[in-house]
Structures are given as structure tokens and as C-alpha cells.
Amino acid sequence: MHKLNTNLNKNIKLPWKTLTIAIILNFFIWAYLFITPSMETILASNLHISHFQTSLLFSTPILMIALVAIPAGIIADKVGLKKTIGIGAIVACIGAVLRGTAPTYSSILLFSIIFGIGMGFTFANLPKLARSCSSIEQTSSVMGFINGFGVLAGIGLALAITVPIIYSFTNSYHDVFYIWAIPLIITTILWWIVVDEPPCTINEPESGSGSMGLTEVLRSKTLWLLAFILLLHNIFFYTWSGWIPTYLLEKGISMNISGLLTSIMLWVGIPTVILVPGLYSRINLSKKLLIVVPSLIFAFLALWIMPAAGFSILIIMIIAGIINILRFNTLLSLPVEIMPKKHSGVAGGVVIAIGYLGAVIGPSMAGQILDITGSFQPIFMILAVLSLITMGLALLLPKKTKTELNNIINSN
């Protein structure tokens, strides 16, 4: 009977109404965040600020994700996902609209903090939503859909059209903030109208980790190792994606083309993250390979980007897009897979809280280095070293996660 239940759980019908709204909400929140690196030179010129100061407009909302992730996870475990994500979306909308009204750098920074708090309550609970709306075998694939059509597509569209289309039409960074806030407001309204509480009512027996208490969850060495690896991943990704447009401008590539080249990294990740997790779950390989191998390749890309020109840059961005999303999706999925569903909010919150400190450290570090040296070369050298460290830490992960061990046991 237990084996029959396991097989049935692998084929749970996914609640696409809820997941679709979550994906669209995620799409516009992440698109709004990446307005800033798209307009880095515009904001620096209009506000008369340094590279480091513009990096804070991008990294401060991400710092808020790190600060609120654990409280957001605890609240979602207690009061429910619809209310927690919905309230976060409302706060994000308030910050987004106020950003458009801001006349000075300090006011934009303040409203960026408000936006980031709302974003944190929303994004930090997406792994819990994926786990709640699917079987344990489907969680990685569901996160793939959320990350692919949500995170990557949103970032990609923002990088591709913010400057060449929206800013070129309005000629005002204030108007760009307003325009990107409109779809976010509409989607937030849809979340409150369409999504039920609880968003999903899937009944699934807990795996062997289901008896773990909250204290045991927080003491898990694997959980904290995943958190630190996500921190290093985010240092790389947010430095890379946040500063590549400016780097390409310095290489003589136009603003429109540099944004498009950067966005390619996101677009190629969409089919990758949708197709690979489902295929990978059918073969008996450890998921830590999806962290180890991309880390090694990223070290190589960080060195290759410095002498690269022309077609080579396109190839680098395509490879980076494929390996980035595989590592990112795995790091977000594993915490809620290896921990009991009732504590998945806290488990995901811990990993995101630590991991997204890296998203603050990376761009800020790069901005300071650029202000001091005027060169991107030290930045890419640091990224290469960090990638090798990430690979080394990933090798310390268990060969088989608790989820994979439970599946092996249940199939016998």
C-alpha cells in the first residue's frame, strides 16, 4: 500500500490556477527589481551618484529579502501562504509606486527598502508554495516553472526592453518606475481574488523526515551548507547580471545591445529549467552534480569573459544562462524537499535569508572595486575564485539527500 501511495504521489495533478498567478506575480516583481541595473548609467547621471550608490538601489531590496525571509517563512507556516504572499505583494506595490514619486537618491533608496520587504515576504515563500502544491517528486519541476517563467522571464524582459523601449519612449526614469508598477498592482489584485486559502489542498503522507521538529530542522548541517552555497551563488549571479551591461558598454557595445546580450542569459534558462529537472529526476544521479558542475564552468566563464569579444560573448551568456538556472533551482528546491512539509516555510526561509546576503555583497563589492580601480578585471578574478570555492563546498553535500534515500526505500 505504501508503494502504491508513493506512485500516486508522483502523479498528483498540479493546481495550475494558483501556480499561474504565482508565476505572473513573481515575473513582475523580479522585472521591477532589474529596472535598476538596466538604467545604471541613466540613474548615475541624473542623480549624480557613484557606481557604489547605484548598486545600493539594486542590492538594498535584496538585503530586505534576506532580512525578512525567516520571519516570512514562520508566518506562512502559521497563518497560511495566501495571506503572507498577498500582504508581501501589497507592500511591494506600495514601494514600487512610491519609487516613481521619489525626487532624490535618498528617497528612492528608502522606497526601495519598502519594495524589498514586500518582495521578501513573497519570494521567500515560493519554495513552500511549490512543495505545498505538488508531490515531493514534482517539487523541483514546479520550482523550475516558477523560476523559469517567473524569475528568468521577468528579469530577461526588464533587461531587454526597459532602456531601448520604455525609457526611450518616456525619457524619464520616474515614468519607467510607474509603468513597471502597473502590472504588479494588477497581478496582486488577481492573487487576492483568484487564489484560495490554503492555495493548495494536496494530501500527501510525510516522508521519513516528517517527524522532525523545528529545532532539528534548524540544526541540520545540510540545510546550513545549502544556505552558504546559495550565498556564494548569489554573489556570482547578482554581480554578473547586475554589472555585465555596464561592462559591455565599456567594451564599446551599445546600451541596447548590451541589455539584449545580458537578457539572453535569462531566456535560455527558461527551457533549461523546465525540461532538465523532470528529465534528471528519472535518472539515478545525485542532485549535487547540478551544483558542482555549474560551479566549475562558472569559474571558466569568469576568466573567459575578460578577453572575449563579438560572438564569444554571446556563447558565454548562453552557457551561463543554462548552468545558472540549474544550480539556482536545485539550491531553492532541496531545502523544502529534505525537510518536512510543515516546516518548509522555515527551511526555505533559512536558506534564502543567508543566501540572499550574497546578492547584496556581490553588486556592492563590485561597485566599490570599480570606483577604486576603474577596472572589471579584479571583479571577474574574484568571481572565478568564488566559483571554485562553491564547487568545493558542494562536494561536501551528502551523495544522496534524504528525499532521494526515502524514494529508494519506498520503491523497494
Question: What integer pLDDT is reported at residue 7 of this predicted model?
Answer: 41
Judged by average pLDDT, the poorest of 175-184, 222-231, 273-282 is 273-282
Ordered alpha helix ranges (H), 39-172: 40-47, 51-79, 81-101, 105-123, 126-132, 139-145, 153-161, 168-170
Question: What integer pLDDT is reported at residue 343 of this predicted model?
Answer: 66
Distance of CA 73 to the CA centre of its chain: 16
Residue 171 has pLDDT above 80, yes or no: yes
Confidence of residue 122 (pLDDT cuts 50, 70, 90): very high
Q: What are phi and psi of 122, to 5 degrees?
A: -80, -55
Question: What integer pLDDT is reported at residue 84 of this predicted model?
Answer: 94
Residue 87 has pLDDT above 90, yes or no: yes
pTM of the entire predicted model: 0.78
**Rounded Cα distance, 84 and 72, in Å:** 7
pLDDT digits (tens, 9 = 90+) for 329-358: 889 888 877 776 666 777 878 888 899 889
Question: What integer pLDDT is reported at residue 214 of this predicted model?
Answer: 58
Question: What integer pLDDT is reported at residue 1 of this predicted model?
Answer: 36
* Strand, coil or helix: 412: coil
Q: Nearest CA to 68 among 125, 130, 150, 129?
A: 125
Angle at CA of residue 322, ends 92 and 51, nearest 5°: 50
Query: Average model confidence (pLDDT) for the chain?
Result: 83
Question: What integer pLDDT is reported at residue 408 of this predicted model?
Answer: 35
For the chain, which residues make up each domain, given as ranges? 16-202+209-411
- Give CA separation, 227 vs 81, 331, 340, 394, in Å: 22, 8, 17, 11
Question: What integer pLDDT is reported at residue 359 of this predicted model?
Answer: 84
Q: And the C-alpha cell for 202? A: 494536496
pLDDT digits (tens, 9 = 90+) for 203-231: 555 544 444 555 666 777 888 899 999 99
Q: What are phi and psi of 384, to 5 degrees?
A: -65, -45
Instruction: Tell me which of 310 and 280 has the higher pLDDT.
Output: 310
Judged by average pLDDT, the poorest of 67-76, 85-94, 180-189 is 67-76
pLDDT digits (tens, 9 = 90+) for 250-266: 888 887 787 778 778 87
Sequence letter at residue 49:
I
pLDDT digits (tens, 9 = 90+) for 313-322: 999 999 999 9
User: Which whole number is the average pLDDT over 382-407?
Assistant: 78
User: Which whole number is the average pLDDT over 372-383?
Assistant: 91
Residue 105 has pLDDT above 80, yes or no: yes
Question: How are the residues of the chain apportioned to helix, strand and coil, as percentages rounded to the nearest 5?
Answer: 80, 0, 20
**Rounded Cα distance, 22 and 15, in Å:** 11
Matching CATH number, 16-202+209-411, of 1.20.1560.10, 3.65.10.10, 3.30.530.20, 1.20.1250.20: 1.20.1250.20
